[in-house]
């Protein structure tokens, strides 16, 4: 009886560990996927600048909010024209985006 209880406790322990490691793995992958653009914006935000894309930003850059989100998360690379427009908006060199 005691052995069954010990095995049951171990089983629950391993289930908890499985969830913890899967959670940590997902967060680690999300951190690795941080794009260069999001790093630049994050660095600018530490200098008392909070960036929230506005309709003027989208008009200036010439992309929609879905495309911007994909670029920001690092899911897709910006095209050369998009990179130039983003660099122009943030007043940085295009080479800093790559």
Query: Which pLDDT score, from 0 to 100, does residue 63 have?
Result: 94
Average pLDDT over residues 16-40: 62
96: CB partners within 8 A, 6+ apart: 36, 40, 87
Average pLDDT over residues 20-40: 61
Average pLDDT over residues 58-62: 94
Cβ–Cβ under 8 Å, residues 16 and 24: no
Average pLDDT over residues 81-92: 90
Query: Which pLDDT score, from 0 to 100, does residue 30 have?
Result: 47
């Amino acid at each position: 009886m005691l052995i069954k209880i010990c095995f049951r406790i171990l089983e629950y322990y391993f289930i908890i560990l499985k969830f913890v490691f899967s959670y940590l793995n997902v967060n680690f992958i999300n951190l690795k996927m941080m794009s260069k653009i999001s790093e630049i914006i994050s660095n600018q935000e530490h200098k008392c600048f909070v960036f929230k894309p506005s309709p003027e930003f989208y008009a200036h850059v010439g992309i929609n909010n879905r495309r911007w989100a994909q670029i920001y998360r690092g899911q897709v690379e910006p095209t050369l024209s998009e990179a130039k427009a983003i660099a122009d908006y943030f007043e940085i060199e295009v080479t800093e985006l790559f």
